[in-house]
Structure 1
Amino acid sequence: MSTLNGKVVLITGASGGLGARLALDVAKKGAIPILTARREDQLKAVQEMILQETRITAPYYILDVSNQESVETVFSQILKEHPHIHILVNNAGFGIFEEFAESPWKNIEGMFSTNVLGLMACTRALLPHMLQRGSGHIINIASQAGKISTPKSSVYAATKHAVLGFSNGLRLEVAHKGVDVTTINPGPIATDFFTLADQSGNYVKNVQKMMLKPSHVSEKIVKAMERPVREINLPWWMNVGSTMYQVMPKLIETLGGKSFRQK
């Protein structure tokens, strides 16, 4: 029997892509996924899928993580109905690939509001309850982009870099208080993320063969839920490049050449 059996896992951005797949996979382990996202129709569809495949009813809540009032109101309601949230997965986020000089301010502000401040707001709403209980696990979906930035992803990479910085500091703050913090740093995943991020379709066309499957990423996250780790980097070879970049950035930028400009 999985250690997740009977646990409650709250997932933001659970209406599709990685979030929906993760919700299904934890339900298969006997956990109760709580689904949150902005689109009620999509949340209902994910709820029905989980019910059909696992016979587990996954409650859902309409949540806009970029709106602090929404986070406070919805999390308050969730905690009244589910007072013991064992795991929080901060998965909600989006990116838009474009040159910084051409980026409308609403796009820049939107990415930071969702990817960074929204993640912090959700964590802040739940962390005190975990600390009071002396147990819990926060999983933040970051990105390899947070370790090595490339053209047309300067703002998106900045948000994910912020997620990594926040997560690393928070991990140290709660290390001896029973709460684990894990960051997930994937490369490109084959989801509808790119419908908005890569409207030209060029990036997807160039990297399609190396895209990660949501099921593979979800499998790794579920294992981290059962046995917490500091971070997960996918695929391994991309993380090698990110690690080398920290040591010799100029050389890696030179060698990267055209591969960094696939957007």
Structure 2
Amino acid sequence: MGRLDGKTVVITGAGRSTGRALAAALADRGADVHLSARDKEQAEDTCRFIKDVTGSSATAYSCDFADLGSIQQFVSNLRAKTPKIDILINSAAMWLSGSFEATDDDHLIAAVNSTVTGTILLTKHCLPLLEMSEDPDILTIVSKSGLALEGQSEPNAAYHATKTAQTAFMNRLRQTHTHIRVMSVFPPDFESDLEYKSSAWSKQPSPGKGKTMTARHVVEAILFALEQDRICTLESLVLRNSASC
């Protein structure tokens, strides 16, 4: 029996990449996984993948985090399926790279709406379900870009702003909702497009210039944080790519 057995987990941004791998890993550890993606077909494909790889079932939802109505409908659908949420994982975000000046205004607005406003609104509307849990957790996958004077050079200024806002929101939530474990994970650049339990998943990359960690390292760090005894909260989990000796 794992420490996540019987836990009801809601994870956003699970249609692809690290969110998909994390959803599979959570289901593999006995969690009752409810996952969302902007495209319902992607979410359903992740559920099929989870069933094939782990033998466990998961529930798929669609949600556009730049749209308030979509968030409200998502939470309404969750309420119809489960009386509580034990763990809320904010994984959905919009990536922005390249020149800030050259970024289309609509893309800037969409990034703020989905990554910042979407995270805030989803958390707000999920709080009543989290309050029904004896041991509620909120975990947000931020980015090194969400740390002051940190982060990769590739994302543009607006992306840094959205991730810094997520950091500030989690920090304040930790102060105001002390009965909830509120955790933020700050990964650097990493190889995100790995399928859970694939042959590439189990490879052990060696540290070195230009080499990065993989989705497996990020997923395992998140599981480590979630599986700690309740006496322990890993408030900020900062991951770094190690250089060769």
Q: Give the TM-score, by structure 1 length.
A: 0.79
Determine which of 152, 157, 160 is the counterpart of 1:157.
160
Partner of 1:60: 60
- Who wins on radius of gyration, i.e. which is larger? 1
Q: Which runs of 5+ in 2 are unaligned?
A: 194-207
Name the TM-score, length of structure 2 as normaliser: 0.84
Q: 169, 180, 193: which one pairs with 1:166?
A: 169
The residue aligned with 1:35 is: 35
Does residue 146 in structure 1 map to residue 146 in structure 2? yes
Between the aligned residues of both structures, percent identity stands at 27
Structure 1 counterpart of 2:176, which letter? E
CA gap 1:132/1:27 in 2 versus in 1, 3 angstroms: closer
Count of residues in Structure 1 that have an aligned counterpart in Structure 2: 222
Unaligned runs of 5+ in 1: 193-206, 239-263
Shift of 1:133: 4.5
SS at match of 2:35: strand
CA distance in 2, matches of 1:179, 1:152: 31
Counterpart residue type for residue 185 of structure 1? F
Aligned to 1:16: 16
- RMSD of aligned alpha carbons: 2.0
Query: In structure 2, the residue corresponding to 1:35 is in which secondary structure?
Result: strand
**Equivalent pair of 2:84/2:132 in contact (CA under 8 Å):** no
2:238 is matched with: 233
More helix by share: 1
2-side partners of 1:52 and 1:102: how far apart? 43
Q: CA deviation at 1:179?
A: 0.8
Q: Distance in 2 between matches of 1:169 and 1:71?
A: 22
Amino acid at match of 2:78: I
Give the secondary structure class of the aligned counterpart of 1:15: coil
Alignment of 1:20-169 (within 5 A): 20-131=20-131, 133=133, 135-147=135-147, 148=150, 150=153, 153-169=156-172
Tell me by how many angstroms 1:152 deviates. 5.1
Q: Is the 8 A contact 1:134 1:179 kept in 2?
A: no
